[in-house]
């Protein structure tokens, strides 16, 4: 498996793709990240065309098992961020 792209590498690739400097590309990436964070933490969803949909889902209270001791523990309800991958991205990876 290949190493994941770092933020520095992503900013450099974004700057090259946008034909701009790295400072502007970094600001654009930070702005997009901030917008997605605000929207999803507020209970909304963000669709990135061609990539997928990022949303927050609530998980109910449930019983879980401690793998070290085997003891049953009640875990409180919580929220988890999910992402559904777009069909276009799946198709491009599998072709």
The rounded distance, in Å, linking the Cα atoms of 61 and 77 is 4
Sign of CA dihedral 9, 26, 81, 57: negative
What are the structural domain ranges in the chain? 1-42, 51-95
Check residue 66 and report its DSSP letter.
Answer: -
Given the DSSP bridges, would you call strands 52-59 and 78-85 parallel, antiparallel or unpaired?
Answer: antiparallel
Per-residue pLDDT tens, the chain, 95 aa: give them: 789 999 999 999 999 999 999 999 999 999 999 999 999 999 999 999 999 999 999 999 999 999 999 999 999 999 999 999 999 999 999 98
């Amino acid at each position: 498996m290949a190493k994941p792209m770092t933020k520095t590498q992503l900013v450099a690739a974004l700057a090259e793709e946008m034909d701009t400097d790295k400072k502007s590309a970094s600001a654009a990436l930070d702005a997009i990240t901030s917008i997605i964070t605000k929207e999803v933490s507020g209970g909304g969803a963000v669709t990135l065309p061609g990539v997928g949909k990022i949303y927050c889902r609530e998980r109910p209270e449930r019983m879980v098992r401690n793998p070290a001791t085997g003891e049953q523990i009640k875990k409180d309800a919580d929220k988890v961020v999910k992402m559904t991958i777009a069909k276009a991205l799946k198709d491009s990876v599998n072709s």
